[in-house]
Amino acid sequence: MKIGVFDSGVGGLSVLKQIKEKIDFADVIYYGDSLNSPYGSKSVEEIQKLCLKIAEFLIDNRVNIIVVACNTATAAALETLKERFTSVPIIGVVEPGAAIAIKESKNKKIGVLSTPLTAKSKVYEKAIKKINPKSEVFQKGCELLCPMIEKGWESSEKNLNLLKEYIHQLPEEIDTLVLGCTHYPLIRDDIEILIDKKIVDPAEEVAMQVLFELNKLALRTGFKKEKKEKVKVDYFVSGDIEIFKKVGERFLGEKLSNVYQPLTD
């Protein structure tokens, strides 16, 4: 079995990390579209076009499931992808994040840090209120964080002040903060320094959904799941491979091999 995971760059590695921890019988193809990062400042139409091309690439490489490991891409393109590609399950990150946020929040006042497009789409508010209509959702679009993390975030005073500025624009009464961009878990330590709230990373729940879908597929097809000694991950990076490897290795705590530049039209 093979899992396809894609993001606008390194952010989806936070999802990949959870997948590798929970699924030991499937290999992974990871596509980081760092050449076109950040997605959060693009139009919905641009993002849909990029996502369709990546999904086609993953399906050409015979994946059994696709994980849209990017909140912005989930907001802009998940339904489009599901309509276009019906041969494989396609999972986004927003609904799993919303479900955990509702579960963790005591007062149902939930903050979301995300890219500007994700915030503008109100996708988290819709998903959370679908589960619990009485919830209050406060979203803050952070224009600068994603590109800074993509290039290699440093815990400097300047960067912490910028992060603090974004966080402090959320109401004090929230008791739960959703990391509504898959890049943000890469700087979770710095976020935890600045806010004393329950922090939700949707990645763990996404990995559980992937496991559920693969188990269903195995039952349906008779596929025999066999534990691998080591899950193989092939990385395809549209932008600078060396920067991707540097940031990715620091976050995952392991050397990244099998990193390739995808062939372009």
Sorted by where each begins, the domain ranges of the chain are 2-92+203-260, 94-200
Separation in Å, CA 228 to CA 19, 29, 252: 14, 16, 19
**Given 51, 142, 146, 181, the catalytic residue:** 181
DSSP, res 31? E
94-200 domain in CATH 3.30.70.330? no
- CA distance linking residue 177 with residue 108, whole number of Å: 11
Is 146 among the residues known to form the active site?
Answer: no
- Check for a shared fold between 2-92+203-260 and 94-200: yes
2-92+203-260 domain in CATH 3.40.50.2300? no
Full pLDDT tens readout for the chain, 265 residues: 999 999 999 999 999 999 999 999 999 999 999 999 999 889 999 999 999 999 999 999 999 999 999 999 999 999 999 999 999 999 999 999 999 999 999 999 999 999 999 999 999 999 999 999 999 999 999 999 999 999 999 999 999 999 999 999 999 999 999 999 999 999 999 999 999 999 999 999 999 999 999 999 999 888 888 888 888 999 999 999 999 999 999 999 999 989 999 876 5
Is 181 among the residues known to form the active site?
Answer: yes
What pTM does this model have? 0.92
**Given 51, 70, 142, 146, the catalytic residue:** 70
